[in-house]
Chains A and B, each alone.
Chain A
Amino acid sequence: MTNMDQESSYFIPLPPSAGDAAPEVARIAILNKYVNETIGLLPPQIRPQGNVLDLGCGPGAWAHATVDTFPAITVTGIDINESMIAWAKAQAYGKQQLEFHIGDVTKPLTYNDETFDVVHSRFLIGVMSRTTWLPLIRECFRVTGPGGMICLIETDGNFVSNPSEHAQRFAQLVYQAYWRAGKTFSETQLGLATMLEQWLEQAGYHVIDVQKVALDYSFGTAYYRPLVQNFAAFIQLVKPFLLQYVPEASKDIKELSEAVTQEMFQPHFKSQLDLTSIVGQK
């Protein structure tokens, strides 16, 4: 069992070997393609111009799509993982609007005050903990210029609509592991999205929009084929995290992950990824 207040690193182990990180690089890149399509690259309140900081940029899927779509934007992406940054850089092909650096979002940002017009992030739930969110958002406030914006996109989980007992039990193990790893505020749900509004206001932002969108990838839907494979990869990759934080369920974890993976390819499979987008202004 872990100390609930300890700081945590990324929930999927990313070994130094670039090859072993490849599935997670692929998973995030593909997932972000469809999140981009579902929720859009930028909310309408944010003008598509200026200097943007992309926190936890991963393999750069959002950053690349954004500069391709909005030529007036420059993006600085930071991520703690070298493989992710290497991948993001390898796709840049000399584009001047992009920079990628190694950076740890759980520590003070290394940028001067008021450097950026916009701060953006997606799915930092995988890397942040209960104690690191508010300091990060305060840092975002510091590095954002007057009138600057912040846009955070997080999830309240998968398998929301799935009636399967296996899927429900697997989801519970994920929530439990996240909670024990110090990342969330409840053992039975992720519940992060509801905290974001509070943290933004505590940091000094004025919250101007909250949007909730469901990315439905149930069997037969348009997104089923690419995202069911994506989620099958997630189930394999998250197992070490589950075994670390819910060791008493180690036998369940193996059986459930196999059962859920099989169910995902059956016609009765239902699932959606709940996304929350929150926009604040300085």
Chain B
Amino acid sequence: MDWRKILAEIIEEQPTIKKRIAEEMEIAARTLDRWVAGTNPQSMQQIQKLALAAGRYHPDLEEALQCAFPAAFKEPFLFHVLEDISAEFYSQLIGAYATLQPNLKRYAVKNLVYLQMVRHLDHLITGFVVVFVQAVTEDKCQIDHFEVQEGAGNTAWDTQQVLSPPFALAVESTLGREILTSVPHVMQSLPLDTPDERTRCLLRREELRSLALQPVRREGALAGGLLCGSRQPDFFTNARKDLLRKYADLFALAFSDGDFYRVPIV
């Protein structure tokens, strides 16, 4: 069957379905109309996203897309529905937070969150790295600079990123300023030829195609941010962004109140 005809059936059945698919794919609704009319999705990832977001409304859509775009389905399928963080993992971390001495708590919580989030967010092992950019203060009043700490990753970043030494980052740097906004930042398509300035603290930065920065906060105060990089463009889907926010909240359990700073809202 022609995938455009199937897509037309899906989006014409109910306007709400069309809106829902577009939101999930993070595209304009009229883009779906253009595809029905004859243009093609712009990337392999968009085709995968379409199979996932719209495929649940018609049993033949995914197969039709595979026939039309076989190469897209040879790529790692990045957009499978991701499970939420398991209750067991929450329980382990909350237990560690409640019972452990500060040094052991920090060691256990940080490393367990790192290990879990790498495997969870990139379960297809396409190439992922995460580091913690910690706020550092001299006088406990305001953030003086940031320090890029050890992190975790898979593939080429499996141990290499962890082995690189701490890296100081000015508050005025692009990454520093973004962390201070205390809101998440995502870049889905990093340029191929000029590595982004934000990635200079990461090894093999020329391989990164998506970037996300998630603040680590507690009750409105900031400890720093989790900087994540992926080899895949469009890696940080809504599901992954949501998971990243939850993992950052868990990561915050590693720190004591003194590690968090109030940042003036500009």
A residues near B (Cβ < 8 Å) are: 17-23, 25-27, 29-30, 33-34, 37, 64, 68, 83, 86-87, 90-91, 93, 222-223, 225-226, 229, 232-233, 236-237
- Cross-interface CB contact of A26 among B83, B107, B150, cutoff 8 Å: B107
CA of A26 to CA of B110, assembled, Å:
9
Query: Does the CB pair B107–A225 fall under 8 Å?
Result: no
CA of A223 to CA of B165, assembled, Å:
11
Query: Does the CB pair B163–A22 fall under 8 Å?
Result: no
CA of A17 to CA of B109, assembled, Å:
15
Interface residue SS majority, chain A: helix
B162 at the interface (CB under 8 A from A): yes
B residues near A (Cβ < 8 Å) are: 83, 86, 88-89, 91-101, 103-104, 107-109, 111-112, 115-116, 119-120, 123, 125, 150, 158-159, 162-163, 165
Query: Does the CB pair A29–B115 fall under 8 Å?
Result: yes
Query: Does the CB pair A23–B96 fall under 8 Å?
Result: yes
CA of A19 to CA of B101, assembled, Å:
12
The residues of A that contact B83 with a CB separation of less than 8 Å are 93
Q: List 26 A-B contacts (CB under 8 A).
A: A17-B95, A18-B88, A18-B92, A18-B95, A19-B91, A19-B92, A19-B95, A19-B100, A20-B96, A20-B100, A21-B92, A22-B92, A22-B96, A22-B109, A22-B112, A23-B96, A25-B92, A25-B108, A26-B115, A34-B159, A83-B92, A225-B165, A226-B159, A232-B107, A236-B103, A236-B104
Query: Does the CB pair A93–B165 fall under 8 Å?
Result: no
Query: Does the CB pair A26–B119 fall under 8 Å?
Result: no
Q: A19-B92, A23-B96, A34-B159 are in contact. List 4 more A-B contacts (CB 8 A).
A: A19-B94, A19-B97, A64-B119, A83-B92
The residues of B that contact A18 with a CB separation of less than 8 Å are 88, 91-92, 95
Given known A-B contacts A29-B115, A222-B163, A232 and B103 have beta carbons under 8 A apart: yes
The residues of B that contact A91 with a CB separation of less than 8 Å are 115-116, 119
Nearest chain A CB to B116 CB, angstrom units: 7
CA of A237 to CA of B100, assembled, Å:
11
CA of A33 to CA of B152, assembled, Å:
11
Given known A-B contacts A34-B159, A226-B163, A90 and B116 have beta carbons under 8 A apart: yes
Nearest chain B CB to A115 CB, angstrom units: 28
CA of A91 to CA of B86, assembled, Å:
10
The residues of B that contact A229 with a CB separation of less than 8 Å are 107
Nearest chain B CB to A6 CB, angstrom units: 29
The residues of A that contact B96 with a CB separation of less than 8 Å are 19-20, 22-23
- Cross-interface CB contact of A23 among B89, B100, B150, B159, cutoff 8 Å: B100
Query: Does the CB pair A233–B107 fall under 8 Å?
Result: yes
Among A19, A33, A232, chain B packs the most CB atoms within 10 A around the CB of A19
Query: Does the CB pair A33–B88 fall under 8 Å?
Result: no
Query: Does the CB pair B111–A29 fall under 8 Å?
Result: yes
The residues of B that contact A23 with a CB separation of less than 8 Å are 96, 100, 104, 107-108
Query: Does the CB pair B111–A90 fall under 8 Å?
Result: no
CA of A245 to CA of B43, assembled, Å:
63
Query: Does the CB pair A26–B111 fall under 8 Å?
Result: yes
Nearest chain B CB to A119 CB, angstrom units: 25
Nearest chain B CB to A65 CB, angstrom units: 9
10 shortest interchain CB distances as A-B pairs: A19-B95, A22-B96, A26-B111, A23-B108, A22-B108, A19-B96, A18-B92, A93-B123, A26-B108, A23-B104
Nearest chain A CB to B3 CB, angstrom units: 27
Nearest chain A CB to B123 CB, angstrom units: 4
CA of A22 to CA of B254, assembled, Å:
12
CA of A262 to CA of B265, assembled, Å:
40
CA of A70 to CA of B159, assembled, Å:
19
The residues of A that contact B111 with a CB separation of less than 8 Å are 26, 29-30
CA of A278 to CA of B115, assembled, Å:
29
The residues of B that contact A222 with a CB separation of less than 8 Å are 163
CA of A222 to CA of B98, assembled, Å:
33
Given known A-B contacts A25-B92, A83-B92, A236-B104, A19 and B112 have beta carbons under 8 A apart: no
CA of A23 to CA of B100, assembled, Å:
9
Query: Does the CB pair A68–B125 fall under 8 Å?
Result: yes
The residues of B that contact A27 with a CB separation of less than 8 Å are 107
CA of A93 to CA of B86, assembled, Å:
11
- Cross-interface CB contact of A226 among B101, B104, B112, B162, cutoff 8 Å: B162
Q: Which residue of B lies closest to A221 (CB)?
A: B163
Query: Does the CB pair A225–B162 fall under 8 Å?
Result: yes
CA of A29 to CA of B118, assembled, Å:
13
Query: Does the CB pair A26–B116 fall under 8 Å?
Result: no
Query: Does the CB pair A223–B163 fall under 8 Å?
Result: yes
Q: Which residue of B lies closest to A20 (CB)?
A: B99
The residues of A that contact B98 with a CB separation of less than 8 Å are 19
Given known A-B contacts A23-B108, A236-B103, A225 and B159 have beta carbons under 8 A apart: no
The residues of B that contact A86 with a CB separation of less than 8 Å are 88, 92
- Cross-interface CB contact of B88 among A26, A34, A90, A226, cutoff 8 Å: A90
CA of A223 to CA of B160, assembled, Å:
10
